[in-house]
């Protein structure tokens, strides 16, 4: 099978400040990432990381790279794995520089998407490889005719977003998957508790002063009793709660990927929007929110 050299450049996000540039004297760091041994360099005075590795690839991938019709629409999983290994190694090196060399100007999860991705067989010039597009964006509820009037009804009646929604939107802005997961779970807990209190103010003391039931009970029997339906997202909520507990009590025991966090965020947004629709069942905007939520494809699902 062909042996190819792959190289990717990753921009590093940092605050504009008087701190020195990220790159030190040019020196390669070697990191095992996935199935590859990756060399990572941050050129002196620059704010990008260069990750490079040699990989033995299948004949099918080599043929795809040599094809004149290379396209992200047919992106091979094998190539995505190589790019993922380069990305993972570069992140580890930038993280080490941030914390061990005390560089608070470097953002958490500072590595951006690969700015370019190339391959070479060692005999000719490096050839560019297409990079899959960004996978995280937001989707909105689209107003139909009369939508502004429906929104005005809610404003007139004093309908307000749940505090949990605000925490969820903060999670959308969080770049680090681990912290995003924790924020999402906090949002789920706050949303159901506030919804229960809004619907039945008489249980506020119990909700706020008694030990909190697990999220699975809040979104199951308790939600059905007080809001009329249990959540259709119980399986996701259970996994989210259990993973959050592991993240809090086993700091090094769980690794959350970007994809896992994005999927959890999407499903949690559905769950919270469902709760809100039960809180204001007569309001068309609340009903419409169940068809608009954060997605990792950029489309309303």
Instruction: Convert the pLDDT of each residue in 103-148 to its tens digit.
Output: 777 876 677 788 889 999 877 788 988 877 654 334 445 545 456 6
What's CA 10's distance to the chain center, in Å?
18
Please report, for the chain, the start and end positions of each structural domain, with discontinuous segments joined by +. Answer: 3-128, 147-291
Spatial distance between the Cα atoms of 218 and 32, rounded to a whole number of angstroms? 43
The pLDDT value given to residue 228 = 96
User: Tens digits of per-residue pLDDT, 195-231?
Assistant: 999 999 999 999 999 998 999 999 999 999 999 999 9
CB 48 within 8 A of CB 42: yes
pLDDT-flagged residues of the chain (< 50):
19, 135-140, 143, 145, 295-301
Q: What is the pLDDT of residue 145?
A: 42
Kind and range of the H or E run holding 127: strand 127-128
260's tokens: 């896992």
| pLDDT value at residue 141 | 53
H-state helical runs in the chain: 59-66, 77-100, 147-157, 163-173, 177-199, 204-209, 215-217, 223-227, 234-249, 258-279, 284-288
């Amino acid at each position: 099978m062909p042996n190819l050299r792959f190289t990717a450049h990753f921009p590093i996000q940092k605050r504009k400040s008087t701190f020195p540039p990220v790159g030190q004297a040019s020196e390669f760091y070697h990191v095992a990432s996935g199935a590859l041994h990756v060399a990572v360099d941050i050129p002196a005075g620059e704010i990008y990381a260069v990750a490079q590795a040699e990989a033995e690839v299948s004949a099918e991938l080599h043929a795809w790279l040599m094809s004149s019709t290379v396209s992200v629409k047919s992106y091979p999983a094998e190539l995505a794995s190589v790019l993922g290994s380069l990305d993972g190694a570069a992140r580890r090196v930038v993280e080490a520089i941030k914390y061990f060399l005390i560089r608070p100007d470097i953002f958490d999860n500072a590595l951006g998407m690969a700015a370019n991705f190339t391959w070479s067989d060692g005999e000719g010039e490096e050839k560019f490889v297409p990079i899959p597009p960004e996978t995280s964006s937001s989707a909105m509820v689209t107003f139909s005719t009369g939508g502004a009037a429906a929104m005005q009804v809610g404003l007139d009646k004093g309908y307000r977003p749940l505090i949990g929604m605000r925490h969820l939107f903060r999670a959308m802005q969080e770049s680090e998957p681990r912290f995003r997961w924790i924020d999402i779970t906090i949002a789920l807990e706050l949303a159901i508790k506030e919804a229960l209190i809004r619907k039945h103010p008489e249980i506020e003391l119990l909700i706020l002063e008694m030990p909190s039931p697990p999220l699975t009970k809040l979104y199951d029997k308790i939600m059905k009793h007080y809001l009329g339906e249990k959540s259709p997202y119980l399986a996701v909520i259970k996994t989210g709660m259990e993973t959050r507990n592991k993240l809090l009590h086993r700091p090094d025991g769980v690794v959350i990927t970007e994809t896992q966090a994005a999927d959890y965020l999407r499903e949690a947004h559905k769950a919270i929007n469902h709760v809100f629709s039960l809180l204001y069942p007569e309001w068309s905007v609340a009903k419409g929110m169940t068809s608009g939520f954060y997605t990792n494809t950029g489309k309303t699902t």
